[in-house]
Structure 1
Amino acid sequence: MKKWSLLTLVFALLLVLGACGSKDSSKEDSNSGSKKDTITITNDFGIQNEDGSSDSVKDEVKVPKNPKKVVSFDMGFLDTLDTLGIDIAGVPQDSIPSYLKKYEGSDYENVGSLKEPDFEKLATIAPDVIFISGRQASLYKEFSKIAPTVYVGLDTANYMESFKKNTELAGQIFGKEDQVKAELAKIDNTIAKVQGETKDLDKKSLIILGSEGKISAYGPASRFGLIHDVFGFKAADEGIEVSIHGQNVSYEYVLEKNPDIIFVVDRDAVVAEGASAKKDIEKNDIVKKTTAYKDGKIIYLNPEVWYLSGGGLQSLAEMAKEVESAL
């Protein structure tokens, strides 16, 4: 009887040890699975402060793969997510370009404006990931307290490399790698077509942004510099200061450079109701003396695409079509 009790005790002990081993193994499997279900992203970007100083952020974040609640404060990235068929939980509804108008609907949460996010609403939504860019960069820490936050702003000095990096990142996070590859191939073909047409073009161009009665110029490596750097249009002025707001210039400057083509981004059309830089430029007597005006080569670019949602799969394709019209 004692012998039987001893065997029973040994058998029970083996069962307990086996169960512990099974739990440890299960725990390891669970941890292994959790690692596979997240992607580690390094945010590395600069912040321009209002006083003119700058700071930098370098931070690693873990983002769940195939996140369900997605918020995007960058319209270009929203454009890309829309192309990929990703469900969106919230957007800043005051700055939606018309071709993404559906996101103004009640099916989507309004999370404030591009520069003034509604952090209370964000906390209520409890998103799995938030995508931001330059306009929200200074608020990165506040966003990070609510959810994993990913910076998807464009590096305009390396436009295509930056654009492709962001697009491929979207593919990795949402399991859309094959679709992204196909979409990027289309973009490459479109750009190659424009480059083929500008390769031997012996004409110079100038990019200006009109805002509140004033104009600023943009050159290579700038916010709109892909016209030169990517699409291949020669610049009328190679020395334009690289700045997010452009270099303040006069209409006399425009005449002095006398470009063959002038590309215009009308900021007023998207931020000031009833205002139009286009009207100011068209009636300006100095502009009328330029070669671009005389040849009918003042190209008014879609400000929604260029000012609000640049760097998206849809917007970049549209940009290519618009600059091609100058040819």
Structure 2
Amino acid sequence: MTLVHTRWAATLLLATTAALLRCSDSAAEAPQASPEPVATETTEHQAYTPVTVHHQLGTTVIEHRPQRVVALDMNEVDFLDLLDIPVAGMPKDFIPHFLAKYQDQPDIQDTGAIVQPNLEKVHAARPDLILITSLQARHYQELSEIAPTIHFDVDYRDSQAQHLDIIKRHLLTLGQIFEKDELAQQAVADLDRQVERVRQLTRDRPETALIVLHNNGAFSAFGPHSRYGFVFNALGVKSATPAGAAGLHGRPISSEFIQQVNPDVIYVVDRTAVMEHRPALNADTLGNPLLRQTNAWKNGHVVFADAQAWYVTAASVNSMKIIIEDVISGYQNEP
């Protein structure tokens, strides 16, 4: 290589090296691109709009979307199931057949009895929301110390016409809490359609109906002012008895009373089958000669209702649909 070529190559090498150094310096001085934001629990909480719930026992503020929910009433479990919300804890003593999938799930804490929750087990479920009804109301203060607690204001003693409104309002509230508004609204609309369907059937019908609770061979009746008042007030069924007051388990009646009232439709709710986990009564096993003399029996309008839907729940969407179907069948059965 000649001297000229050698000097030219050296010059070119120096220039290239200087350019690379300048690029390196510029890269070091340039601001670095920010990484994509990562969704964290904090950012999710910041985006959540707090929900304030006013209920009969007080006011509960939900600051964050609940992640672990304890439902101490089967109606509440049914609401959560409808909204596709996981259940962290629930009582497992009387689970209705339409919620049977929850019975043996090991990741769901068994919180004891429906009417007597085990507070230690509730705490062990690590809830950030607890849902209760009047059956657990006396534990409200203690439960509220574990997690925000909401009382479902359904009246199990005198449901009357507000029963359906209370159900729908509670469902919409849960939809807001869990950011499932659209799903909740769809369920409300579907329930409204089912109610209208039964009302169209009962609106101009002359038949009178009697709701009786069977308990170890004894009967109780429920009229317009009772836990099943909504059947008469909201669903349009005509009561065969006066609108007298009734307790949680109805007004005790005799077989002679049923015969004298002589209803056109009888709905039999077998409490014994629920409480003792026994097969429910049916036309073959109810050997009551006086009841068999009623118009309802003679015309095939005795309905052995779904006791789990009527007695264990009766205040949620799925249980209401079952009750509506039972009510309709009372006008359709034939001897």
TM-score relative to the length of structure 2: 0.80
Moved more, 277-286 or 309-318: 277-286
Whole-angstrom CA distance in 2 between matches of 1:221 and 1:281: 30
| 1:40 corresponds to 2:49 | no
The equivalent of 2:98 in structure 1 is: 99
DSSP-derived class of the 1:207 partner: strand
Moved more, 84-93 or 312-321: 312-321
Q: Amino acid of the residue matched to residue 243 of structure 2?
A: G
Cα 1:94–1:322 change in 2 (3 A) is same
Matches within 5 A, 1:117-128: 117-128=117-128
Question: Residue 323 of structure 2 is aligned with which of 288, 303, 319?
Answer: 319
Give the total of aligned pairs.
Answer: 283
Shift of 1:35: 10
Cα 1:101–1:275 change in 2 (3 A) is closer
The equivalent of 2:228 in structure 1 is: 224
Whole-angstrom CA distance in 1 between matches of 2:292 and 2:192: 36
Whole-angstrom CA distance in 2 between matches of 1:314 and 1:115: 21
| 1:169 corresponds to 2:169 | no
| 1:66 corresponds to 2:78 | no
1:28-55, CA deviations, whole angstroms, 9 ceiling, x for partnerless residues? xx9xx769543222231xxxxxxxxxxx
2:223·2:244 contact (CA, 8 Å) conserved in 1? yes
Q: Which stretches in structure 2 are left out of the alignment for 5+ residues? A: 1-41
The equivalent of 1:207 in structure 2 is: 211
Which has the higher Rg, Structure 1 or Structure 2?
Answer: 2
2:48·2:65 contact (CA, 8 Å) conserved in 1? no
DSSP-derived class of the 2:242 partner: coil
Give identity over the alignment, percent.
Answer: 31
The equivalent of 1:190 in structure 2 is: 194
TM-score relative to the length of structure 1: 0.81
The equivalent of 2:262 in structure 1 is: 258
1:221·1:229 contact (CA, 8 Å) conserved in 2? no
Q: Amino acid of the residue matched to residue 121 of structure 2?
A: K
The equivalent of 1:160 in structure 2 is: 164
The equivalent of 1:7 in structure 2 is: none
The equivalent of 2:151 in structure 1 is: 151
Cα RMSD for the two superposed structures: 2.0
1:230-258, CA deviations, whole angstroms, 9 ceiling, x for partnerless residues? 21111001233232221111111111111
Whole-angstrom CA distance in 1 between matches of 2:283 and 2:195: 31
1:113-145, CA deviations, whole angstroms, 9 ceiling, x for partnerless residues? 112212112222221011011211122122112
DSSP-derived class of the 2:259 partner: helix
Cα 1:260–1:106 change in 2 (3 A) is same
Q: Which has the higher contact order (CA 8 A, sep 6+)?
A: 1
Shift of 1:325: 0.9
Moved over 6 A (4+): none
Cα 1:163–1:284 change in 2 (3 A) is same
More strand by share: 1
Q: Amino acid of the residue matched to residue 58 of structure 2?
A: D
Moved more, 313-322 or 289-298: 313-322
Whole-angstrom CA distance in 2 between matches of 1:296 and 1:325: 10
Shift of 1:214: 1.3
1:64·1:128 contact (CA, 8 Å) conserved in 2? no
Whole-angstrom CA distance in 1 between matches of 2:139 and 2:47: 28
Q: Which stretches in structure 1 are left out of the alignment for 5+ residues? A: 1-29, 45-57
